[in-house]
Amino acid sequence: MITLEALTKSFGSKHVLRGVDLVVPTGQSTVIIGGSGTGKSVLLKCILGLIEPDSGTITLDGVDVHEGDRDAFLARFGMLFQGGALFDSLSVWENVAFRLLRGSLKRPKPEAREIAIEKLRRVGLSPDVADLFPAELSGGMQKRVGLARAIAAEPEIIFFDEPTTGLDPIMAGVINELIREIVTEMGATAMTITHDMTSVRAIADRVAMLHAGKIRWEGPIAEMDATPDAYVQQFIHGRAEGPIETLR
């Protein structure tokens, strides 16, 4: 379980996070929604320790994430970055096995390759793609490779940063379905940030909406449509009219 308490972060006079309280339960899929620039990525980066919050606490299973061994902490996470973020100079299998070829999770090369091929298969890619380079793949295939990399080391917790951005609706559907299946079969804790409502409905057990630096609404996906919160309603229906400031 990841717990955020009273988390704040400003950049100069820009107060991005203004007291975020959120629990991300173990083994469930939590999706953070919110408009562009509301601080979803900043929140994710704070949890990963890439950005230092100004105040507040972040704990993982009750332990402050800033205490203890950083490598051991990061080894528990998998991450699917926006746009796939593959290394151009590495082959597909080396991308997938990236964390298995170095550091604390290091395995012998043939074993790492075998795991990479198994993970590629899991995301619907045949072993033929293993020795290709990212530039030789379509955007949808690159996203699958990114997903295979995120699960390669069998992490307990997986972060998905805008997993469907830039994909056509059908490929987005395929990626959403894969994420849902994989998270369920791995029993992983998932946290996704997105503004794609189709993705939210396909992936989420729980939804949290970030607005004006705080969690505006949080609850099970089944309760999202019925919430009377005008901000949530405006966001999920994509209405120009409503309480959310649209002049950005």
Residues that bind ligand ATP (CB under 6 A): 11, 14, 16, 34, 36-42, 195
- Burial readout 76-85 (b: 16 or more C-beta within 10 A, e: otherwise): ebbbbeeebe
Count each helix (H run) and each strand (E run) in the chain, helices first: 9, 10
Closer of 37 and 108 to ligand ATP (Cβ) = 37
- Rounded to the nearest whole angstrom, what is the least distance from the CB of residue 43 to ligand ATP in the complex? 7
Residue 49 tokens, joined: 């320790």
> 199 in the Ramachandran plot: left (φ > 0), alpha (ψ -120 to 50) or beta?
alpha
Closer of 16 and 100 to ligand ATP (Cβ) = 16
C-alpha distances out from residue 49 to 54, 57, 70, 71, 77, Å:
12, 12, 9, 11, 12
Closer of 142 and 194 to ligand ATP (Cβ) = 194
Give the closest residue to 115 by CA, choosing from 134, 87, 95, 89: 95
Residue 126 tokens, joined: 């045949």
Query: CA angle, 86 as apex, 83 and 91 as ends, to 5°?
Result: 145
Q: Which residues pair with 14 in a beta bridge?
A: 11
Closer of 94 and 196 to ligand ATP (Cβ) = 196
- Rounded to the nearest whole angstrom, what is the least distance from the CB of residue 246 to ligand ATP in the complex? 14
Closer of 92 and 210 to ligand ATP (Cβ) = 210
- Rounded to the nearest whole angstrom, what is the least distance from the CB of residue 184 to ligand ATP in the complex? 26
- Rounded to the nearest whole angstrom, what is the least distance from the CB of residue 157 to ligand ATP in the complex? 19
- Rounded to the nearest whole angstrom, what is the least distance from the CB of residue 7 to ligand ATP in the complex? 13
Closer of 37 and 103 to ligand ATP (Cβ) = 37
Q: Which of helix, strand or coil describes residue 4? A: strand
- Rounded to the nearest whole angstrom, what is the least distance from the CB of residue 13 to ligand ATP in the complex? 11
- Rounded to the nearest whole angstrom, what is the least distance from the CB of residue 101 to ligand ATP in the complex? 30
Neighbours of 127 (CB within 10 A): 14
Closer of 16 and 191 to ligand ATP (Cβ) = 16
Residue 24 tokens, joined: 């991300």
Residue 27 tokens, joined: 């083994």
